[in-house]
Amino acid sequence: MTGYTLDTFIEDCRKKICECQFPADCVEQITPVMYRLLNGDKSFLKPEHFRSDPDHYARNAIYIEEADTMSLYALVWLPGQWTPIHDHGTWGVVGVLEGNLEERNFMRVDDKGKNAMTGVELARGGVILLSPGAVTSFVPNPDHIHITGNPADGQRVVSLHLYGHAMPGFHIYDREARTRKWVEVSYNES
Ligand SMILES: [Fe+2]
């Protein structure tokens, strides 16, 4: 396990993505590979991957495939930092490196259709606490809706996020306005 490197991980993911027909196949195949990476040789993690931002959680790019078939980021969450409510439009596999990452789930319960941008009604779902070494995943259509973050009393959290494309943005939800809108999200380059 200890010899598993970033290069091998990327190569394994590339192969599995080619072979998989559905997003659910991708996450089924890649979840154990992410687990292996978390428990493998982490020398690929450089100081720039641990950059944080006092204003919001930080996204630090580790690897972005030119063909737009996958991207890997290290996300750094200071205590009290959370995403907005969002979906992803693609599949993803998330592994925790450090601290406890909290996920609070939502379900869309209106009858406007999964892509409607107004009249959105969300019901609150379950909560998951992910400790170092844990891996979770999600698929689109219907999209996984959640917020992810670091409770205010926690320590720094660092997690690895592999997505099925470059992930330049996501849909965010406003529960009060009952809307969903596309926003671009920035990241720090390697
Ligand atoms: Fe997410």
Q: Tens digits of per-residue pLDDT, 23-74?
A: 999 999 999 999 999 998 899 999 999 999 999 999 999 999 999 999 999 9
Q: Using alpha carbons, select from 36, 28, 46 the residue that is nearest to residue 4.
A: 36
Q: How many A from CA of 45 to the centre of ligand 1?
A: 21
In the chain, the number of structural domains is: 1
Specify if 54 maps to a domain.
yes
Q: Cα of 146 to ligand 1 centre, how many Å? A: 6
Residue 78 lies in a domain: yes
Give residue 2's pLDDT band: very low, low, confident or very high (50, 70, 90).
low
pLDDT digits (tens, 9 = 90+) for 100-134: 999 999 999 999 998 899 999 999 999 999 999 99
**Contact between 111 and 141 (Cβ < 8 Å):** no
Average pLDDT of the chain to the nearest whole number: 95
Q: Is residue 6 included in any domain, yes or no? A: no
C-alpha of residue 21 to centroid of ligand 1, in Å: 22
Establish if 127 belongs to a structural domain: yes
Angle between the N-to-C axes of helices 23-38 and 6-19, in degrees from 0 to 180, rounded to the nearest 10 = 170
Domain that holds residue 67: 48-184
Mean pLDDT of 158-180: 95
Residue 39 belongs to some domain of the structure: no
**pLDDT score recorded for residue 102:** 98
What CATH number does residue 81 fall under? 2.60.120.10
> What distance in angstroms lies between residue 190's CA and the mean position of ligand 1's atoms?
21
Annotate 83-125 with DSSP letters as a single string.
Answer: PPSEE-SS-EEEEEEES-EEEEEEEE-SSS-TT-SBS--EEEE
Residue 15: inside a domain, yes or no?
no
Distance, CA of 87 to CA of 112 (rounded, Å): 16
Q: How far is the CA of 111 from the centre of ligand 1 (A)?
A: 23
Does 33 reside within a domain?
no
Q: Is the pTM of the predicted complex or chain greater than 0.75?
A: yes
